[in-house]
Structure 1
Amino acid sequence: MERLFFETKIAATDTGEITGLAWPFGSADRVGDLIEPGSFKSATLPLPMLFGHDLNDPIGVWSSASEDSTGLQVKGNLLINDVARAREVHALVKSGAVRGLSVGFVTKKSVTRKGGGRTISALDLLEVSLVVVGMHPGARVTSAKSAIHAIAMAEAINRAAERLRG
């Protein structure tokens, strides 16, 4: 399995929902690889969500993976209620310590690019990982929902209301 790391837009909510741009089209990663539009269309869902491409460290599931004009957009959930490591990674994403995404795949068709790297036109997508530093500077978490934040906000509102009541 090949792994291409790149810093992407990813975001996590308090409920563990993660969205991100897993691969941006139109620019090469740090080793010169380009993946062409259409290459991800055969992705089979759900896809494993791993941390750092560690096959022994599944932390969630990607329920959506679709191409748009910017690249491969992904959406899924960290299993924060069931997997301790997912809770840890969620905290790292929320803090900004983990902000990259990386795709793990098998190349089916590619050509070598002048100056290094490849242009990949067909692949089998196996997984998408959350990573500290990605190979592609454009791949990142865009949102991360947080129930913990919502609960903390509700508690703060309740405390303020209690103080106002006297």
Structure 2
Amino acid sequence: MDLEHKFCRFDADITVVEGTKIEGYASLFGTCDQGNDVVAPGAYAGSLRRLSNEGRAVRMLWQHDPSQPIGVWHEVHEDKRGLYVKGQLLDSVAKGREAAALVAAGAIDGLSIGYRTLRSSKNDKGQRLLTELELWEVSLVTFPMLPSARVAAKGESPETETWSRLAQVLEGARRNMAGG
């Protein structure tokens, strides 16, 4: 079994507070991603229990690069919505400072999980239903696969943030096409 990655755009709201603290959802249950996969509730429970029992933690990486940890996840758990994460980017690490600046500027707005599939099946829609996963890491990424989890600045709602960023991107593209 190879390590797989599931990308999650921060539509489900990762919030950045005080420049380095982040929280939100890395995965949403019942949502089909661009790889035609759906994560079932409880898929992470066994893995999270094993990590806790072994005194280990889910890693926070930059773009899935194991040589570039950028922070720590203080809290990772399942709730009725999905896989919730809360942690801190390390400003004592150059890539952590860079990640915080890119998230704050809206240049990075994706989360991605690194995992190994332990159990899955096909559902009635032909999608792969992931029922048991071994979670290794949650990364900040440029291009997520699940377009339903996003970074938002403190006090912004996911809907406001999504439409605001979309408007900014479209305006930037319009300016570029118009020659400046």
* Greater Cα shift, 123-132 or 43-52: 43-52
Match of 1:56 among 58, 67, 70: 67
Change in CA separation of 1:39 and 1:142 when aligned onto 2, cut-off 3 Å? farther
1:38 to 17, 39, 42: 42
* Partner of residue 160, structure 1: none
Percent identity at matched positions?
A: 41
Does the CA-based 8 Å contact 2:104-2:153 persist in structure 1?
Answer: no
CA contact (8 A) 2:19 2:104 kept: no
Distance 2:58 2:82 in 1: 17
Which protein shows a greater Rg? 1
Distance 2:15 2:102 in 1: 11
| Distance in 1 separating the partners of 2:127 and 2:101 | 34
The aligned amino acid for 1:22 is A
Q: Which has the higher helix share?
A: 2
- Separation in 1 of the partners of 2:77 and 2:144? 20
Say what the alpha-carbon RMSD is for the aligned residues: 1.9
Aligned residues: 144
Q: Flag structure 1 segments of 5+ consecutive residues without an equivalent.
A: 146-166
Q: 2:19–2:100: 8 Å Cα contact kept in structure 1? A: no
Distance 1:92 1:33 in 2: 28
Please state which structure has a larger fraction of its residues in strand: 1
TM-score normalised to structure 2 length:
0.73
Between the aligned partners of 1:68 and 1:126, the Cα distance in structure 2 is 18
Residue 90 of structure 1, aligned match among 79, 100, 110: 100
Residue 25, structure 1, aligned to residue 26, structure 2: no
